[in-house]
Structure 1
């Protein structure tokens, strides 16, 4: 398959993203992705042998990025999170759960993340062919009026029984229900590790009051960084986070505690530096930071996905978890987009900033 022209896709941002030198948090202080990441980082942790084996499976058992220290994951939990109609109407083949797993395999992904129902429906055929990440909680959108809360959809033992290598969960940090979610997910992660499964946390912010002067700070570097720090505290092995679009959430909203050095020394306006601050809050990269691919916008999807991957890699991140940009297209085009993302991580010319 023909490789994409990364510089051309980045357009006017090519120089600022590909040539940027990070002077905030130096790369020498980070734990960067490498083929020996699991041994170097988790080998000295309290994760048990079975968990180490499954973390290694996520990084090394299959896909185009196997044994690089980077991961490419296909997440398809949107049938619940955004409704099946909103998610699959653009390409109805994905109402069939097997096609979700097929896309991950054909697309050269390290793993597939989806619901109990999707993965359970084809587990005997595929659980040994590609690592499963079972999403254990969701925000269901059938309640009226709409509410935003992550609730459990199954059990950790159920995920283990279907052969999952890992579980995934979401916490809406900052929401009215975040305290309960933190406790639930922390307990779930503890049991998952006991049974030998890895843990992936969707670290999202959700609070209407995080919008100030028409600027939404739910994706600010300082707030998402703190969410990441809580996430690794409850023992997420991988953090999934939206890439930052701004900074200064704490100061703009006027709550919590921060430090002026976060804004004067540890970050700049460059998205690579903002993402590096997110990574710093993952114990300086001991726990991998994967950024989400975001919604599908049509013709601009490829360029946006490559841009996100370049920023993540140059910041020191571990990879990308991209769903709607891939599955709301034909299988062929979805595979091409996933491969383009992976090409960024395989390109030796795209280095740590």
Structure 2
């Protein structure tokens, strides 16, 4: 274990050695192993957006083995997916990359802002996962149920030695569309995930917009002029950097924008990227090239 990773794990006081061992599995794996930086491949978009919207642009990506293999070949830190996707390659790829079982999911037809539980801690153990992943929607009318659900699941995961990753995506209630990416809202979402016991926090990159009327005064003196500075504030809101924070890649975008996001995450003190559509919707060779460059950025080589 490197001093950097040991320093990260030392900040997880009150956490069992078994959970720390699984966090170390992720932090020490792949081409970024030992650096404190992560690039994780998440493939839950088939649930969220449908198979054609997710994979038709690159038909090879309909095959669950494709995602396992690209994550392994790229030297990524971990691969996160729902139950069926992980099961479809669990035997072939056992032990080759740390996996994260996404235990709740939604779909694009739902009229309420909610998710259903689609996997369990028992499933994660059976599949040899290092962690479970769970989405909460701060702002949703269902947020309190979701908070209670992840509290119970996290307790069960901790008892089993698994880490917990929380996707914290504000939406619903009084939050406007612009507000979903607002700096104050994003920092609040990351803080909520930390308070719920997340070992790894996943949030979206924040804009400079301040959504909450009552928060505007608190943000008057904060310099949010660059994306790196906004990342630094989200990290600050995550227990002053005592929790690992990764940022989602979002909708498909140009390669230069993806690379700039990574530089801003790095420069702002974030721990890395959890990037799906911007890689698997590209042809395999192009995706591997992009992932190699992202890793180089997080190594300060780009």
Normalised TM-score (structure 2): 0.95
Does residue 325 (structure 1) correspond to residue 290 (structure 2)? The answer is no
Distance in 2 of aligned mates of 1:138 and 1:217: 22
Q: Specify the alignment match of 1:244 in structure 2.
A: 206
Does residue 97 (structure 1) correspond to residue 50 (structure 2)? The answer is no
Instruction: Compute the displacement of 1:264 (Å).
Output: 2.4
Of 123, 126, 130, 2:90 maps to 123
Gaps of 5+ in 1: 1-33, 252-256
Whether the 8 Å CA contact 2:113–2:141 is kept in 1: the answer is no
Rg larger for: 1
Q: Specify the alignment match of 1:66 in structure 2.
A: 33
Whether the 8 Å CA contact 2:26–2:77 is kept in 1: the answer is yes
Whether the 8 Å CA contact 2:4–2:34 is kept in 1: the answer is no
Whether the 8 Å CA contact 1:35–1:69 is kept in 2: the answer is no
Does residue 56 (structure 1) correspond to residue 24 (structure 2)? The answer is yes
Whether the 8 Å CA contact 1:220–1:248 is kept in 2: the answer is yes
Q: Specify the alignment match of 2:120 in structure 1.
A: 155
Of 161, 180, 188, 1:226 maps to 188
Q: Specify the alignment match of 1:198 in structure 2.
A: 163
Q: Specify the alignment match of 1:288 in structure 2.
A: 244
Instruction: Compute the displacement of 1:42 (Å).
Output: 2.9
Normalised TM-score (structure 1): 0.81
Instruction: Compute the displacement of 1:160 (Å).
Output: 1.1
Gaps of 5+ in 2: none
Q: Specify the alignment match of 1:182 in structure 2.
A: 147
SS of 1:168's partner is strand
Whether the 8 Å CA contact 1:141–1:147 is kept in 2: the answer is no
Distance in 2 of aligned mates of 1:148 and 1:336: 36
Of 233, 237, 260, 2:217 maps to 260
* 1:9-42 CA-partner distances (Å, limit 9, x unpaired): xxxxxxxxxxxxxxxxxxxxxxxxx943443243
Whether the 8 Å CA contact 2:82–2:119 is kept in 1: the answer is no
Q: Specify the alignment match of 1:341 in structure 2.
A: 294
Distance in 2 of aligned mates of 1:242 and 1:96: 27
Q: Specify the alignment match of 1:278 in structure 2.
A: 234
Instruction: Compute the displacement of 1:265 (Å).
Output: 2.5
The aligned runs of 1:6-85 (5 Å cut-off) are 35-43=2-10, 45-60=13-28, 62-85=29-52
* 1:163-218 CA-partner distances (Å, limit 9, x unpaired): 0011111101101111111111121111111111111111101126422xxx6111
Does residue 304 (structure 1) correspond to residue 246 (structure 2)? The answer is no
Distance in 2 of aligned mates of 1:203 and 1:177: 13
Instruction: Compute the displacement of 1:259 (Å).
Output: 6.4
Whether the 8 Å CA contact 2:5–2:35 is kept in 1: the answer is no
* 1:56-80 CA-partner distances (Å, limit 9, x unpaired): 00000x3111111101101111010
SS of 2:259's partner is helix
